Amino acid sequence: MSTPETLPTAEPTTPQIGYTVQDSDLPVLSLNCYKKVYVAVVFGAGKFPTTGLLYYRMKKNGASVYSSSSYVLANYYYTVQAFFFDVKVGDLLELAFWSSVSDSNWDYKAFHVLVTRVIVLNKPRLMAPCNFAALSIQPVLTLGNPTYTTHALYPYHDDISLPSFTGATSYTFLYPKDTYGIFRIYFGDYSNPNTATVRTSSTNRPYYYCNYVPTQINFRGVRID
């Protein structure tokens, strides 16, 4: 959080929020997995003393990824949550704001990275068993007056439809999909990849979405080719 900064009434040349992805930002995996995709999430939040339109744009390495606008009531906080799908170390991620009214502001930013679409092994292998032994909610933001909504994790098996889940779950066998691997996070992959959401509240800033993510997966790989 910082001192509130007034939003311009035209798109700024330099976005208010920018961050270059660093290796230390990436989730730490105990195995050197064959494939994985990283999703970065950039947050920006502030307040509208007067009812107006919030405009925003996502940029990746200087190129526009997504832009839109959202109506914000007087004396309401807004939270923009920008989901950048498939990021790599060195990518510059930016979020720009401007407004239809002259007294709106921003004062909050946050950034985090999640992993999705993990393919653990580089040969066709059956994971038997596959135990999602522990899950956690990410991210947990602390500054301001935060509140969030969560969504379950989506597991994947090549030819079986599996329900999403929010707690430890075991499968007798799991055969990863070529594209999706053994799981997908919801926000930033299953939903809203390379787009942003805006949530408003009279009391909460940030007001955002969280993913359930696995923190421990135990398995045995069985080669089948």
What digits encode the pLDDT tens for the residues 138-160?
999 999 999 999 999 999 887 67
| Cα-to-chain-centroid distance, residue 12 | 24
Percent of the chain with pLDDT over 90: 80
Question: Who's near 158: CB < 8 A, 6+ residues apart?
Answer: 175, 176, 177
Beta bridge partners of 114: 39
pLDDT of residue 31: 83
Determine the Cα–Cα distance for residues 95 and 98; give it in Å rounded to an integer: 10
Contact 74, 48 (CB under 8 A): yes
SS3 of 215, please?
A: strand
What digits encode the pLDDT tens for the residues 22-60?
999 999 988 888 899 999 999 999 999 999 999 999 999
* pTM across the whole model: 0.94
Contact 43, 144 (CB under 8 A): no
> What's the full length of the chain, in residues?
225
Domain ranges of the chain: 5-223
pLDDT of residue 159: 66
**Which residue did the predictor score with more confidence, 172 or 105?**
105
Question: Who's near 30: CB < 8 A, 6+ residues apart?
Answer: none
pLDDT confidence bin for 137, thresholds 50/70/90: very high
Model confidence at 124: pLDDT above 80: no
pLDDT (mean) for 56-73: 98
Query: What mean pLDDT value characterizes the chain?
Result: 94
Residue type, 78: Y
Paired tokens of 93: 């991620």
